[in-house]
Amino acid sequence: LQMGDGWYSGEIGWGHGCSLRDHYGQVPRLLAQLVVDFQDGTQTTIASDKTWRSSPSAIVTSDFLMGEVYDARREAALTGWDQPGFNDAAWTGVEVQDLGEVTLVAGPGPAVVKWGELKPLSVKAKPGGTHILDLGQNMVGFARLRVRGQAGQTVILRFGEMINPDGTLYTDNLRRARATDQYTLKGGGEEIWEPKFSFHGFRYVEVTGYPGEPSADAITGIVLTSDTPQAGTFECSSAMVNQLQSNIVWGQRGNFLEVPTDCPQRDERLGWMGDAQIFARTATYNADVAAFFKKWTLDVIDAQSPQGAFSDIVPRIILDSTAAPAWGDAGVIVPMTMYEVYGDRALLARQYPSMKKWIDYLDAANPDHLWRQQVGNNFGDWLSVGADAKKDVLSTAYFAHSTSLVARAAAILDFKEDAARYTQLAETIKSAYNREFVAEDFTIAGGTQTAYVLALSFDLLPDAKRAAAVEHLVKDIHAHNDHLTTGFLGVGHLLPVLSRHGHADLAGKLLLNDTFPSWGYSIRHGATTIWERWNGWTAEHGFFDPGMNSFNHYALGSVGEWLYRYVAGINADPRTSAYERLILHPRILPGLTYAKAQYDSVRGRIASHWQRKGDQLTWQVTIPPTATALAR
């Protein structure tokens, strides 16, 4: 067995006055048990204890953020260590730790797997003997090195997502993460090396110290991800939109690694709740994430405070404050999403006490039913562009929405008194919202796209105000030259709201824009994953402040849900779960001549393919045998 620091004692997150290391322990720990079954029916158990022995390996250092240093010359002293009969007399004893009351459980989530391999598209020599290899795709994983040379020669690999204007590797946005691997040759022939306990987010690999000129065969990108099998595909007549779908999938693949991380490259890689709640529905279309989220929602419970406060980050490290509005609400939204998609009543029942506790916590802190107390970091509509939504408008909207979801969960689980109580509470919050934030002319305080979108998406407005709110939303989009201003909270709801309220054409225009700010703008400038921010790079200003500028961040990719549900038309009746009843209603967008999608639901494959030729429109659908469908 070989061990690395990993999540347990390695560097995760950023500083803020606390150690980046040793969140769970100071050195790696191992608990192992090998059960041997003999042919005669007897059995022997070999468990880790004080009789075990250890030795330093050829891995000199290894860390998720910093990279791995490997000295192949050390291998000679370790030959045969993993074979029977090895003499471990030179090895040392191990330290045995009493864990006390700690309960250890087997990891319930899917394993991390090698998903695929990427070969460089180009190799470019740079001054100082370095070479830049472009894999053509921003990915998460590591580089396999293939090299020949003399013993003691060292090859250094550095990783980055972008290239500076002068052609050198852009690493400013990595912050403290060195993202550097180092391999020292043992000599004597071709050597092939892969790091064991580190991963990086990158498209480009800078190679220094390579003996001779590296060819494209010198580096292979090994893509890592949690094993979440592909569930859906989407395609249409727009090459840009197809690239957008690819960017969404690659962002999900790279950041769904043990936990739904926000980004894979810099000194962070944390399970931010706000990102997860807005993207969860999109994630279910792209992949089977049932087991992945079943494990992570258990972490959500573990991170909840005794008072009921969820955490911004799960597992809870770095930040220890009450979760912000929309971030904490992931503790309600994600379990409900898993029920809606997979019919997982057991997961909903497991999470329900924590969901209820969260709402009770907020209700006690905000007796006027406007969420202004216990707002934690209150990120608002994080990374919106050209708009500044009022935070109490957004927080109260989420307060009402999550309370409605808890009421629905209570009804599903047959907690009748709870269902009645939380239904009434949700209505009370909605009334407070309308009284405080909705003016006589039906404008919403702050007047941002996200304010209108959440009010409409969360059904906060009475029927008399709804049409006017839609018109105010459309007016604001037109005022921004038919461009969006939404950040993390509004972006996933914007196009669905427009489509549901008779403005699918405007939604399609926002989709197909390629001028700033838009999904198409980043794609026009080479994006192969979703960027953290709309202005991560612009032609006018270059790179944004590297203090927070990830080029692989899935939250703004929550538009993927709309591609499946509204463009292709694969939608489920919200009154049912697990696609028991389908509502097939594609929006035929002016800018597209066809769109098709298929989704492998828990009931079987659902497919929708529409195509327009001249005045003729054809539509083909596939419905699972255990589902019914309403076509519109």
- Among candidate residues 161, 206, 268, 561, the one labeled active-site is 268
In whole angstroms, give the CA distance from residue 201 to residue 183: 19
Closest by alpha carbon to 59, among 189, 265, 198? 198
Q: Which residue has the tokens 């040793």?
A: 22
Q: Quick one: which H or E segment has residue 547?
A: none
Q: Where are the alpha helices (DSSP H) in 127-206?
A: none
Tokens linked to 464: 């008399």
Complete DSSP assignment for 316-378: --S--SPPPTTTTTHHHHHHHHHHHHH--HHHHHHHHHHHHHHHHHHHHH-TTSS--SS-TT-
- Please tell me whether residue 582 adopts helix, strand or coil conformation: strand
Surface-to-core class of residue 541, CB atoms within 10 Å of its CB (0-12 exposed, 13-18 middle, 19+ buried): exposed
Interatomic CA distance for residues 404 and 336, integer angstroms: 11
68 is catalytic: no
As a whole number of angstroms, the distance between CA 91 and CA 51 comes to: 12
Q: What is the DSSP letter of 397?
A: H
Question: How many helices and strands (H and E) does the chain possess?
Answer: 14, 27
Cα–Cα dist 94/491, whole Å: 52
Contact between 473 and 456 under an 8 Å Cβ cutoff? The reply is yes
Strand-pair partners of 61: 69
CA atoms in the 13 A half-sphere facing the CB of 560: 33
Give how far Cα 527 sits from Cα of 420, 439, 499, Å: 48, 41, 26
Does the annotation count 580 as an active-site position?
A: no
- Write down the catalytic residue from 11, 206, 532, 561: 532
| SS3 state of residue 309 | coil
Q: Which residues contact 327 (CB under 8 A, 6 or more apart)?
A: 272, 273, 274, 277, 310, 312, 376, 377, 379
Any idea which residues carry the catalytic annotation? 268, 532
